[in-house]
Amino acid sequence: MAQRANVSATWYTWLEQGRGGAPSADVLDRIARAMMLTDVEREHIFLLGLGRPPEVRYQAPEGVTPRLQRVLDSLEVSPAFVKTPTWDVVAWNRAATAVLTDYSTLAPEQRNILRLIFRDSRVRAAQSNWEHVARYVVAAFRADAARAGATHEIQSLVEDLCRLSPEFETMWRDNDVRTYGDGAKTLHHPVAGPLTMEYSAFAVDGRPDLGMVIYNPATPADADKIRSLLKSKPKARR
């Protein structure tokens, strides 16, 4: 094991015996690779050895499991979707298709929340205060990408949006950061009219590459509007 981790056998023996002080993060990382630990196990030895989790390593998303998709589908009148740290939408339910965006009609590379906010006129028109929403989204996106260690991965998206949208470029250069968290918002749906919803963001346990966002209708009247939309909406294609 010491050889695979590129440390001396003597030092590794001392480590097992609790002698010689705390190992460095680099050494713990090499030991984790040598032991072929999972991400959860790697985090555990960092907590044991250094009292903190390891630095985030960005991993490209692998898609959602059928079980997670069933969770989305069970939310009948609550629009919900799963996004990556780079804010690509990778799964959604029928309510999201009816209320937010029909992601099934978009190419995968276009299912990005920032692209929709800044480049889709229908999404822009649905916001009650587009500039406020856009600034919030940009700040939360920056924080999410940094937290996930995805700064390099978002570079081409940021450069593309800066080129296509002067508004995005200005907001991006403000360097604001916010947490997505929860809150309330009103959308102006072209068919249902005003829809007020409360939203919450959740981490997907065991999948640090994914986050879930759920919108709940704020009143029974809002829920009824969504039900009416779903009755006239065919099942979404994925």
Please state, in angstroms and rounded to a whole number, the distance separating the CA atoms of residues 206 and 186. 32
Q: Count the domains in the chain.
A: 2
**Residue 12 is assigned to a structural domain of this protein:** yes
Tokens for 39, please give them. Answer: 């991400």
Averaged over 102-116, what is the pLDDT? 95
Averaged over 85-114, what is the pLDDT? 95
| Range of the structural domain that residue 193 is part of | 66-231
| Residue 20: per-residue pLDDT | 64
**Residue 61 is assigned to a structural domain of this protein:** no
Please report which confidence band the pLDDT of residue 23 belongs to, taking 50, 70 and 90 as the band edges.
confident
Lowest mean pLDDT among 24-28, 99-103, 131-135, 210-214: 24-28
**Residue 59 is assigned to a structural domain of this protein:** no
pLDDT digits (tens, 9 = 90+) for 115-145: 999 999 999 999 999 999 999 999 999 988 8
Measured in residues, the chain has a length of 238
| Residue 22: per-residue pLDDT | 75
CA distances from 41 to 33, 146, 185 (A): 11, 23, 39
- Same structural domain, 30 and 86: no
Of 84, 81, 68, nearest in space to 147 by CA: 84
| Residue 71: per-residue pLDDT | 95
Query: Whole-model pTM?
Result: 0.75
| Residue 123: per-residue pLDDT | 96
Amino acid making up residue 51: G
pLDDT digits (tens, 9 = 90+) for 138-174: 999 998 888 888 888 899 999 999 999 999 999 999 9
| Residue 9: per-residue pLDDT | 83
* Residues 112/114/119/125 CA torsion (nearest 10 deg): 110
- Whether 43 and 53 have beta carbons less than 8 Å apart is answered as yes
- Same structural domain, 134 and 193: yes
212, pLDDT greater than 80: yes
Please state, in angstroms and rounded to a whole number, the distance separating the CA atoms of residues 138 and 62. 24
60, pLDDT greater than 90: no
Tokens for 218, please give them. Answer: 């704020």
The rounded mean pLDDT for the chain is 88
- Same structural domain, 120 and 221: yes
More confident residue, 41 or 92: 92
- Same structural domain, 199 and 145: yes
Q: What is the 3-state secondary structure (H, E, C) of 170-235?
A: HHHHCCCCCCCCEEEEEEEECCCEEEEEEEEEEEECCEEEEEEEEEEECCHHHHHHHHHHHHCCCC
CA distances from 93 to 76, 107, 186 (A): 8, 17, 19
Please report which confidence band the pLDDT of residue 61 belongs to, taking 50, 70 and 90 as the band edges.
low
Please state, in angstroms and rounded to a whole number, the distance separating the CA atoms of residues 187 and 114. 17
Please report which confidence band the pLDDT of residue 90 belongs to, taking 50, 70 and 90 as the band edges.
very high
- Same structural domain, 45 and 74: no
- Same structural domain, 43 and 90: no
| Residue 234: per-residue pLDDT | 63
**Residue 236 is assigned to a structural domain of this protein:** no
Tell me the CATH number at 160: 3.30.450.180
**Residue 238 is assigned to a structural domain of this protein:** no
- Whether 16 and 9 have beta carbons less than 8 Å apart is answered as no
- Same structural domain, 129 and 20: no
- Same structural domain, 125 and 32: no
Among left, alpha and beta (phi > 0; psi -120 to 50; other), residue 46 is alpha
- Same structural domain, 162 and 209: yes
| In the chain, % of residues over pLDDT 70 | 94
More confident residue, 191 or 203: 191
- Same structural domain, 190 and 98: yes
| Residue 36: per-residue pLDDT | 82
